[in-house]
Amino acid sequence: MQEILNILQTMGEALRIPASFVIIEFIGTFAFAISGIRLASAKKFDWFGAYIVGMVTAIGGGTIRDVMLGLPPFWMTNSIYIICCALALFYVIAFGKRIIRQNSTWFIFDAIGLALFNIIGIEKTLNMDYPFWMAIIMGSITGAAGGVIRDVFINEEPLIFRKDIYAIACVIGGIVYVICHKLGLSAEINALLSGITVVAIRILTVKYHWQLPVLKGEDEA
């Protein structure tokens, strides 16, 4: 048990996040990879194509974040993320029929991944002593950018650019995280409340069809 804790501590130091957040990172990677693979399967991609879509969904946002923060992309120094995406592929293959038949499967894993990656992006940015507003931006990029790349790969209009409340959920979750941080709560409590906020907003958005106003074109003005 102590060896596992030491490994998490070492990985946390390398990723510039608390050791407890390493587990969040892995769960988020697995969840986002499944969401990408699930959509790839609906497009009739082969196993390799589905794996690539799942991987870019899982690591795309974090890669952009690290490049913007002047860091080497996190997955290039640890193969566990590539393995985690492969496990997600095997999971979909093993339970493919059940997963594909359930229309809510993609939404569930996407909402979980969005919330968890938003948390990771915020905490990592704060640990580098960037201001709070930058942490909120980096959290949103970490959570939402992978989905943009995924949608481009499967030839769909990116969800973030549609009327659904998606990246805004990350922003609100980030504000909750920052407020909790200012109140002196622990990082774990901050993460819990922020994550619940993001998932709740996504669920309510779908249930009640919340949408942002659409910018009208010249012909519609």
pLDDT at residue 169 greater than cutoff 80: yes
Q: State the pLDDT at residue 221.
A: 55
Q: State the pLDDT at residue 3.
A: 63
Confidence of residue 45 (pLDDT cuts 50, 70, 90): very high
Question: What is the C-alpha to C-alpha distance for residues 148 and 141, in angstroms, rounded to an integer?
Answer: 10
Task: Give this prediction's pTM.
Answer: 0.89
pLDDT at residue 124 greater than cutoff 60: yes
| Better-predicted residue by pLDDT, 15 or 67 | 67
- Containing 186, the helix (H) or strand (E) segment is none
Q: Specify whether the backbone of 109 is left (phi greater than 0), alpha (psi in -120 to 50) or beta.
A: alpha
Q: State the pLDDT at residue 131.
A: 96
Q: State the pLDDT at residue 217.
A: 66
Confidence of residue 213 (pLDDT cuts 50, 70, 90): confident
Average pLDDT over residues 184-211: 94
Average pLDDT over residues 179-208: 95
Average pLDDT over residues 121-133: 95
Cβ atoms of 116 and 27 closer than 8 Å = yes
